[in-house]
Amino acid sequence: MADLKSLIAGWAQPGRVAWIGLRPERRAALVAVEKAQVEAGGLAGDHGRPGKRAVTLVQGEHLGAIGSYLGREAVSPFDLRRNIVVEGINLAALKDRPLRLGGAVLRLTVVCAPCSRMEETFGPGGYSAVRGHGGWCAEVLEPGLIRLGDAVRPAD
């Protein structure tokens, strides 16, 4: 039987980049793109800030969960305002590990908690619906290009 350390280090399969969005300025509408250049301070063309919150990611699988909590279909990545939607790999299992997305390497740093804007976007209960499903903030370890469909996997 495997020990806990080896179980934690394992992963089932690579995921993929399903959506990329840029926020040109604070509170501006997101722009969906097919590729983005990851720079030391975040995605080129995004208003994000450098450091441990340079890039934001969310599980595509969580979009349906949030919608379910709101009594509707899956929510749109545009509404959550995260930079990257990934599918097929559990991001929570990769916290603090280098994560390769296409040509870039990121490290998930902290949970991306919902803000009060979720109430504006989704209506009453929007904030609570996103809690635990809002995704992750990440720092850039290696700049590079990411594209829709790129594999997402541990880089270590």
- The pTM (predicted TM-score) of the whole model is 0.93
User: Which residues does the chain have with pLDDT short of 70?
Assistant: none
Residue 34 buriedness (CB in 10 A; 0-12 / 13-18 / 19+):
exposed
Hey, what amino acid is at 110?
A: V
What's the pLDDT at 116?
82
Domain spans, the chain = 37-148
What's the pLDDT at 13?
84
Dist CA 110 CA 87 (whole Å): 19
CATH code: domain 37-148 is 2.40.33.20
Which CA distances in Å does 8 have to 64, 90, 93, 95?
26, 12, 7, 11
What's the pLDDT at 53?
93
8: β partners: none
